[in-house]
Amino acid sequence: MGGVDKAIVEQCRAIYKGEKFLVNLPKEGLQKADILTLFKKYQSLSKVNWRGGRASGTVYSDLATEVSALIAEVYAETAYTNPLHPECFPGIIKMEAEIVRMVVNLFNGGEECCGTLTSGGTESIVLAVKAYRDYAAEERGITRPEVVVPVTAHAAFQKACQYFKIKFRTVPVDPVTFKVDLKAMRRAIGRNTVLLVGSACGYPHGIIDDIEEIAKLGLAYNVPVHVDSCLGGFLVPFVAAAGFPIDPVDFSVQGVTSISADTHKYGYAPKGSSVIMYAHQKYRKHQFSVQTDWPGGIYASPTISGSRAGANIATCWAALLYYGVNGYVDATRRILETQRYMKRELLKMKGIYIIGDPQLSVIAIGSHDFNIFRLSDMLSKKGWNINPLQFPSAFHICVTLMHVQEGVADAFLADLATAVGECMKLPDKSAEGMGVVYGMAQSIPDRSIVSDIACQYLNSIYDTSD
């Protein structure tokens, strides 16, 4: 790649230029005041005004004073708790059970329905894939498992398949609606298929797959169906009451066997919690891990972690109780009103288009007239931190409570309109900043090269040289 990889990694590291990294433990512990001074410096490294709504997704809560104070107080009292020790922390265990049941009920789960709390969406998905692999092995004798997943489904499904040696089969989406192509999904199902996946909604374009039809396929071929509602999980149960109804995507749909919903996204809990729900304990059982003969005792754990942060459970529980149904309906209404307003305004702009017809909080934008990454570069220069997409080239903005703040949507639309105007003046001009990287990364046919560069970036995270 002749130095291109280095240039990319350097671009990612630019923010640390001139920064000294600590590499040795201080011999004497530092004073509290000195630690806090240092801490504030680290906190000020960010150039993105995410509190002012300049970042897509990222922070979903508006960090309103009262809820922030509540979370901080609960965190302070539970920072050292661990549900691995139920005698010491029975309250934490009770909160976890209550979170799971409350969320199962939001998704119209019946008596048989169950779940666990995890550390995040990825863990929820990884655990579901593992559970279905082992369920299929036991129930159907499948030794060469495959999962069938829309190309737009979250990367965590492929990660799970890599971890657990499962064949990962992707299904294209319809070129207009960007919902999974159901005919292609049907064709992809084989005797080794252990799981079908649909998203509600998908991360890239915010599109909700046709869950009812995927569930019908699941029933017809006797294959479990997972609905990934990690992103949409705390919008979906409230959209109807907020005035923006969608087709059912929950356990009321026959054939849906599990759902993931992230409390740390639109549940407005701090990062570190998600709920994985199953229609029946017969699936969840295969998620659990038990070691009966360990000299350390009989060891049983519901998720990947051993010790778990009790504070993540307690703060999640506090957030759920703080908002309540009405709080979530209200937040959902404000977010969807903002998304609909932005959608209407974007549709009026010449030179760009919206991918599919997103019904929840995400809007993905592409262009047939100019290099869309040139547009995203211009937005970055204006302080917007939006998310690039590939195949096709596009970017998205994920609307959160940060963006319903007065003036944020209009500021975005105004900056976008100006930038689109610039792009239309010189439609053949290429991108300059990170846009070059996004464009180039797609055009390299050998994906192992792209993978190597990404690994170099991961290495660079742990680079402490200045």
Ligand X SMILES: *Cc1c(COP(=O)(O)O)cnc(C)c1O
**How far apart are the C-alpha atoms of 118 and 389, rounded to whole Å?**
27
Least Å distance between CB 364 and ligand X?
13
DSSP 424: H
Bridge partner list, 228: 199, 260
User: Binding to ligand X by residue 203, rule CB under 6 A?
Assistant: yes
Nearest-CA neighbor of 61 among 273, 374, 211?
273
Looking at the Cβ atoms of 78 and 273, the one nearer to ligand X is 273
Using DSSP, state whether 115 is helix, strand or coil. strand
Least Å distance between CB 232 and ligand X?
7
Cβ neighbours around 302 below 10 Å, total = 18
Binding mask 274-293 for ligand X (x = CB under 6 A): x-------------------
Tokens describing residue 181: 């192509």
DSSP line for 164-183: HT-EEEEE-B-TTT-SB-HH
Helices 372-381 and 434-443: crossing angle, nearest 10°?
A: 150
Q: Tell me which of 202, 206, 267, 302 binds ligand X, using CB under 6 A.
A: 202
Cβ neighbours around 282 below 10 Å, total = 15
Least Å distance between CB 113 and ligand X?
20
Interface with ligand X in residues 101-140 (CB under 6 A): 120-122, 125
Looking at the Cβ atoms of 230 and 404, the one nearer to ligand X is 230
Judged by CB under 6 A, the number of residues near ligand X is 14
Looking at the Cβ atoms of 154 and 308, the one nearer to ligand X is 154
Q: Are 273 and 111 within 8 A, CB to CB? A: no
Residue in the shown chain whose Cβ atom is closest to ligand X: 121
User: Binding to ligand X by residue 358, rule CB under 6 A?
Assistant: no
Looking at the Cβ atoms of 81 and 229, the one nearer to ligand X is 229
User: Binding to ligand X by residue 397, rule CB under 6 A?
Assistant: no
Q: Which residue, chain included where needed, has tokens 């500021």?
A: 411
Using DSSP, state whether 194 is helix, strand or coil. strand
Q: Are 257 and 278 within 8 A, CB to CB? A: yes
User: Binding to ligand X by residue 145, rule CB under 6 A?
Assistant: no
Least Å distance between CB 61 and ligand X?
15
User: Binding to ligand X by residue 225, rule CB under 6 A?
Assistant: no
Stretch that binds ligand X, among 19-27, 224-232, 322-330, 457-465 (CB under 6 A): 224-232
Q: Tell me which of 154, 179, 286, 396 binds ligand X, using CB under 6 A.
A: 154
Tokens describing residue 398: 């994920």
Q: What angle do CA 193, 254, 199 make, to 5 degrees?
A: 60
Interface with ligand X in residues 172-201 (CB under 6 A): 199
Least Å distance between CB 235 and ligand X?
11
Tokens describing residue 366: 């592409």
Question: HSE on the CB side for 84, CA within 13 Å?
Answer: 14
Least Å distance between CB 139 and ligand X?
26
Least Å distance between CB 199 and ligand X?
6
User: Binding to ligand X by residue 356, rule CB under 6 A?
Assistant: no
Looking at the Cβ atoms of 235 and 329, the one nearer to ligand X is 235
Interface with ligand X in residues 250-269 (CB under 6 A): 262
Strands 193-199 and 146-150: parallel
Least Å distance between CB 443 and ligand X?
26
**How far apart are the C-alpha atoms of 236 and 460, rounded to whole Å?**
38
User: Binding to ligand X by residue 230, rule CB under 6 A?
Assistant: yes
Q: Which residue, chain included where needed, has tokens 């979250």?
A: 154
Least Å distance between CB 58 and ligand X?
11
User: Binding to ligand X by residue 156, rule CB under 6 A?
Assistant: yes
φ, ψ of residue 258 to 5 degrees: the values are -155, 155
Q: Are 60 and 400 within 8 A, CB to CB? A: yes
- Please report, as ranges, the residues that interact with ligand X according to CB under 6 A: 120-122, 125, 154, 156, 199, 202-203, 228, 230-231, 262, 274
